[in-house]
Amino acid sequence: MNNMPVTNVMATLADNRCTPEFVASLYRAGMRGVRINSAHVTPEIIKKMVSVVRSVSRDIAILMDTKGAELRTTATPDNRPFNLETGSVVEIVSSPDRLPDSSVICLNAAMLGSSVAEGTTVFIDDGEIELTVEKSLPDKLLARVTKPGVLGSRKTVNFRGVEINALPAVTYRDKICIEAGIEAGIDIIAHSFVRSKEDVMAVRQLIDGTPITLISKIECRPAVINLDDILEASDGLLCARGDLGAEVGIEHVPAIEMEVIKRCRKAGKPVIVATQFLQTMFTEQTPTRAEAGDIASAVMQGADTLLLCGETAQGNHPRKCVEWMHSIINATLAYRDNGTLI
């Protein structure tokens, strides 16, 4: 265990919470890195958020996600969420400029059409909402809601077992966000929905000559299949368990997480694990024992960083989430390195 890393806490920042006071409170609680999700902010906001974080401490590592080859829903009217009810049939269409409602879900990319078979499961927002495709037409899909939920703006969309090869590795939006990140002085880029080493190299060209660390997010089936090549081309990996579970099935996520960490440790490259570590703390002030065990497991496997996502971006108790994760990590490290139990 002597060569195992000390695991750090990283927290996702939302632009409406990115104030010096908020960042400082997380930093005092044990947070040592922040994540900015470029899918939800403009290049100008990226620069402002980086400036706020740097004003608190220059020791805080700043990671920015790209959007990558990712399907998302469009913005809702006035960014207000709406309900999708069990049993209702909705259209899924490609219309980036159209406003969705309870009868139409709009995607940000080209329509998949007949490439999506009837019976395909559709996961929205990391599986918070589920639908089943009942009819596949050239210009739209008809799908029935099987797991109801509240649909907000720009949520992830996954079609189980369908590879979206037509999506570009780096979008125009990715390019301008990367330029903004370079100008602002971010430390890490985490490229989303990497499918091959070629996807990694497309980003590498854009950051050539900068000190930015390039992390590839493992969150789709092709990434798992091409794991070795992607790791070789990257500076490190991020196991993004939310989209990964929607893409390959939740039952496969623990084994993939362990394999991603193991291969990064063998290669001597950093590894981040993300998503739903403290999901219940969106509303509750203490974690479950299972969540504590999940955090401890990642520490024991050798993860360099554990990333809080919605818990700090949107949840009710962001500082407590950092405190609890930091405390669980420290207790686990005490056991791992010294055998200390209590």
Task: Please state, in angstroms and rounded to a whole number, the distance separating the CA atoms of residues 235 and 207.
Answer: 13
Q: Closest Cα to residue 10, out of 75, 65, 88, 70?
A: 65
Catalytic one of 72, 155, 195, 320: 72
197 is catalytic: no
As a whole number of angstroms, the distance between CA 210 and CA 233 comes to 16
Which entry of 155, 195, 217, 265 is annotated as an active-site residue? 217
Nearest to 199 by CA among 226, 179, 176, 181: 226
Contact 130, 124 (CB under 8 A): yes
From 32, 35, 67, 265, active-site residue? 35
Indicate which residue of 66, 275, 305, 312 is catalytic.
Answer: 275
Would you say 139 and 161 are in contact if contact means Cβ atoms under 8 Å apart? no
What number of residues does the chain have? 342
**Has 283 been annotated as catalytic?**
no
Identify whether 262 is a catalytic site residue: no
Is 217 considered catalytic here?
yes
CA distance 232 to 207: 17
Phi, psi of 245 (to 5 degrees): -65, -35
Active site residues: 35, 72, 217, 275
